Amino acid sequence: MFALLAQEPTVVVLCGSTRFMEEMVEANARETAAGRIVLAPGCDLKTPHSLWADPAAVEALKPRLDALHRAKIRAADEVLVVGDYIGDSTRAEIKYARQLGKTIRFTHPEVEETAK
């Protein structure tokens, strides 16, 4: 009934600005359909939510989310950078992934040069 996988699936982590959350949802669907396990940002601090409605809560949450995302990068086999813009945070994540020897792919390969 269900086919067993011949090998463990690749784990991919999505990186990029949360301004690209819709594109991340699309990338997550495509990567999952391709048979990959997807790790993604779980909180979008740009979208209102009671967990980070208070500015002090954001200040406390942001470093924890950054550390959690670095842990996702360590756990992943590869990184997929989503979006056509690479800011400082994403650039730092890419640098970290490169230091760990992770394979890095881009949804918009033309921005790869700006990731260095």
Structurally, the chain folds into a number of domains equal to 1
Does some domain include residue 37?
A: yes
> So what's the pLDDT on residue 65?
94
At 58, which CATH number? 3.40.50
Does some domain include residue 67?
A: yes
Does some domain include residue 62?
A: yes
Does some domain include residue 1?
A: no
Does some domain include residue 4?
A: no
The contacts of residue 39 (CB under 8 Å, 6+ apart) are 11, 12, 13, 14, 72, 75, 76
Does some domain include residue 80?
A: yes
Query: What pLDDT digit, counting tens, does each position of 55-103 carry?
Result: 898 899 999 999 999 999 999 999 999 999 999 999 999 999 999 999 9
> Could you list the residue range(s) of the whole structural domain that residue 30 is in?
11-115
- Minimal CA–CA distance to 76: which of 106, 29, 47, 40? 40
Does some domain include residue 91?
A: yes
The contacts of residue 72 (CB under 8 Å, 6+ apart) are 13, 39
Does some domain include residue 82?
A: yes
User: Average pLDDT for residues 11-15, to the nearest whole number?
Assistant: 98
Could you give the percent of the chain with pLDDT greater than 90? 77
Name the more confident of 34 and 52. Answer: 34
